[in-house]
Amino acid sequence: MQNSQKECVKMNENKVKLHINTDIVIVGTGVGGLFTALNLPRDKQIVMITKADLESSDSFLAQGGICVLKNEDDYDSYFEDTMRAGHYENRKESVDIMIRSSREIIDDLIGYGVDFERDDNGHLRFTREGAHSTPRILFHEDITGKEITSKLLAQVQKLPNVTILENTEMVDIVEQDNVCYGIVCRVSKEAMPHLITISAKDTVWACGGIGGLYTHSTNFPHLTGDALALSLRHHIELENIDYIQIHPTTLYSEKPGRRFLISESVRGEGAILLNRKGERFVDELLPRDVVARAIYEQMEKDDMPYVHLSLENIDKKTIMEHFPNIYQHCLEEGYDITKESIPVVPAQHYFMGGVHVDCNSKTSMEQLYAVGEASCNGVHGANRLASNSLLESLVFAKRAAKHITDGFDMAESCPELVEAAALRKYNGYDELKKQYKTEIFEEIEREKKVHEQYINCLLYTSPSPRDCS
């Protein structure tokens, strides 16, 4: 712990932390959490927690790249591509903010040392992915997420005002009269797990999606929708939590655990999907939900648990330079993608819904913000456009930091309330997590039925959406 934080920490007789009093607490250390921290004032004390270790973040897993507005002529097509992929359920204001902010974000990242691919003349090199009308995606090999996240993490670790606690899990928030004053955490790295409280003027949820709730997912298993569960318990507004994206292409495996993603950019460079007869059956550059649906239908026709992805149209040099990580992983699984097709299957990948936030990432509870996959600012609508996730997280993390900074003097802390939180109610941790999972899935099913009812009403009952409310 940094010296500047020591006086804010209370310990028991065994030197175990019981309570931390800070200015801002950030739950999560992916790109959303890290970029929030980097854009907050250096005179504010910040505590960041992460459920596992620092590299067990989905931000590290992003392969394809990050979108950017190439020039003003690209605005209309980028906007339309995002809206079309989202089935026009996107918040237009949020989409506009994301696109208009993209170049500034890229400049920030380059300033932090992020190395994007460049051509022989030193110009940024763009690639294309599914549902994009033109190449507008920056990348670093096939590990863009790792490149960005590792560079941001290195910058945060240099800051004397930031303390990062690993293996520390949020189990609750402390609130009163719809104002958040901090969080309750479970620390698991010591021999004996224990609970601590962290009081703060502002709390930021950057704790990721819900992949850990599913048997087959590209996400880390510890990402279990904690922000959703706490929102349900504390009456914080949620939005579109039944909008769950299935990625069309993950490497088929019968092994348990996280599924390995075969990036959208592989298809953007020319890879094609084949049925069991070796026949192409879909336009691979359609939106993800459309391609995933086509794969499921083909699997049923073929009576097979997968389809094949062929990279025969991509030259070996491009494969080795653009997709070295995918090449190596597939080789370890027994497939040489330069010589043969690979079995692929759709898997849960991304969460378009989440905690409802405004354009400054503020939730319906005062002094509580949400960024990244935990939040829903409406950018993605009903289906995310490829490579918009990293950009969206960064844009709205920076806006959250600015909003926190501008209103910090008006925010209130209540360390006594947080410290006095009834810790005994968190006994039976495993049972509590089961309850959270059950409550999340019940709410997802409820929301799904509401959307289905709404759509049916539009199609069959009334010409006016207002009649369906």
A 10 A CB-CB count for 191 gives: 5
Distance CA(172)–CA(440), nearest Å, equals: 15
CA 105 to chain centre: 17
Q: Which of 216, 346, 325 is nearest to 282 (CA)?
A: 346
Phi, psi of 139 (to 5 degrees): -155, 165
Burial of 325 (0-12, 13-18, 19+ CB in 10 A): middle
> How many residues in total does the chain contain?
469
Burial of 354 (0-12, 13-18, 19+ CB in 10 A): buried
Q: Is 288 one of the catalytic residues?
A: yes
Element (H, E) at 228: helix 226-234
Alpha helices (H) in 256-388, listed in sequence order? 264-268, 288-302, 316-322, 324-332
Element (H, E) at 456: helix 429-456
Distance CA(219)–CA(60), nearest Å, equals: 10
Active-site pick, 91, 288, 384, 399: 288
Determine contact, residues 39/402, Cβ cutoff 8 Å: yes
Distance CA(268)–CA(47), nearest Å, equals: 40
Phi, psi of 8 (to 5 degrees): -95, 0
Using the CB atoms, write b or e for 393-425: b if 16+ within 10 Å.
bbbbbbbbbebbeeebeebebbbebbbebebee
Distance CA(61)–CA(66), nearest Å, equals: 13
SS3 163: strand
Tokens (6 digits) for 146: 């790792």
| Active-site residue set | 288
